[in-house]
Amino acid sequence: MKLRMLFLAAGLLVFYLVIRRWPDPQTRAAPSPLHQTGFARHLLARGAWPSYEAPTGHIHFRSGSHTARTTNSISHAVDSARSVVLGFLQLRDTQPIEVFFVDSREQMQQLVGRPLGGMVQSGERTALLVYNESYTPFLVHELTHLYTHHHWGQPRAGRWLSEGLAALVSGDCQGFSIDAVVKGLHERGQLRTWQELMRDFEKIDELSANPQAASMVGFIHSRGGMAAVRAAWLAESWQPDPGFEAAWLARVKAEPAGALLDVPRLRDHGCVG
C-alpha cells in the first residue's frame, strides 16, 4: 500500500512530453507568427494570457499570478536556462520560444488534463510550466526537451534517452548528484539492467527510472561527449558498447554515499526548494 502511494505521488511529479497533436481550436483573434504552433494556440485559446517579450521570446502568464509579480527574475531565469541547455547540447538556436507559466498543478490539470509540473509538445517551440513562490520550475528540464525534440526529433532509442538527457542537464536535485541518487537506488535493490530500463522505461516509476536514465546518459556523455549522446539519439537502434554497463555500475558503486529524494518536497517545491 505504501509503495502504491509512493507511485501515485510519483505520477504527480511528471515532466511530460506529449506526443499526440492538440486539436486545433478556433482562436478568436489572428495569432501572431510566433503563436502558430498547435500547442501555443491550444493554450492561448483557453483564457487570457498577458505576455511580454523576453530575450528568449514570449513569456505568457495569468493575471495576478506569481509570474506576473516576478517578470524580471523569471525572464532572467528562462534566459539563463536557455543558455545552459544550448551550451550543454552544443546547439545554436536564436529563434524565439514561447514559455507559459501557471501558478499550480490544478491550473495545469485544467489546461492539459494532467497535474504536471511542466511539459512541452514534441517538436514545438512551446513550454508550459508550474511556477509559484514555493515551487521552482523545471526550466532546464523542459527546455532540454524543447530544443532536443525541435532539432533532432524523437529519439528512436526510446523516451528514456530524452528524459535521461533532460534530467542530466538539470543536474543536482535537492543537493544530491544524479549518481548519488542512483547509488541509493542500487542500495535499495531498485536499479534495473540497461536492457530492462530501455525496454520497460514507461512502466517503471519515474523516481527510479529518470535518475537511472540520467546516469546512463551521463555515462555515455562521459565516454563520448555530446556527439555520442546525439548519435545515440539519432541512431535507428542503439545498443551500449560492450563493457559499458559494467563500467557504469562500478562508477555507481564507487559513489561515496547513496541518497534518497524527499518525494513530497519534490512534488511541492521542485528540486531546489
Q: Which positions touch Zn ion (CB under 5 A)?
A: 15, 163, 166
Nearest distance from C-beta of residue 129 to Zn ion, angstroms: 11
Choose between 67 and 148: whose C-beta lies nearer to Zn ion: 148
Separation CA 46–CA 134 (nearest Å): 25
Q: What dihedral do alpha carbons 133, 135, 136, 138 form, nearest 10°? A: -140
Choose between 119 and 252: whose C-beta lies nearer to Zn ion: 119
Nearest distance from C-beta of residue 162 to Zn ion, angstroms: 7
Choose between 44 and 146: whose C-beta lies nearer to Zn ion: 146
Strands (E), 8-63: 15-18, 51-54, 57-60
Separation CA 144–CA 50 (nearest Å): 25
Nearest distance from C-beta of residue 64 to Zn ion, angstroms: 28
Contact yes or no for 108/130 (Cβ under 8 A): yes
Nearest distance from C-beta of residue 38 to Zn ion, angstroms: 19
Give the residue at shortest CB distance from Zn ion: 15
Separation CA 265–CA 69 (nearest Å): 24
Say which amino acid occupies 42.
H
Choose between 116 and 191: whose C-beta lies nearer to Zn ion: 116
> What would the grid cell of residue 11 be?
505520477
Choose between 56 and 210: whose C-beta lies nearer to Zn ion: 210
Choose between 113 and 256: whose C-beta lies nearer to Zn ion: 113
Pairing of strands 126-130, 97-102: parallel
> What would the grid cell of residue 69 be?
509579480
Contact yes or no for 263/271 (Cβ under 8 A): no
Separation CA 18–CA 72 (nearest Å): 29
Nearest distance from C-beta of residue 160 to Zn ion, angstroms: 11
Nearest distance from C-beta of residue 158 to Zn ion, angstroms: 13
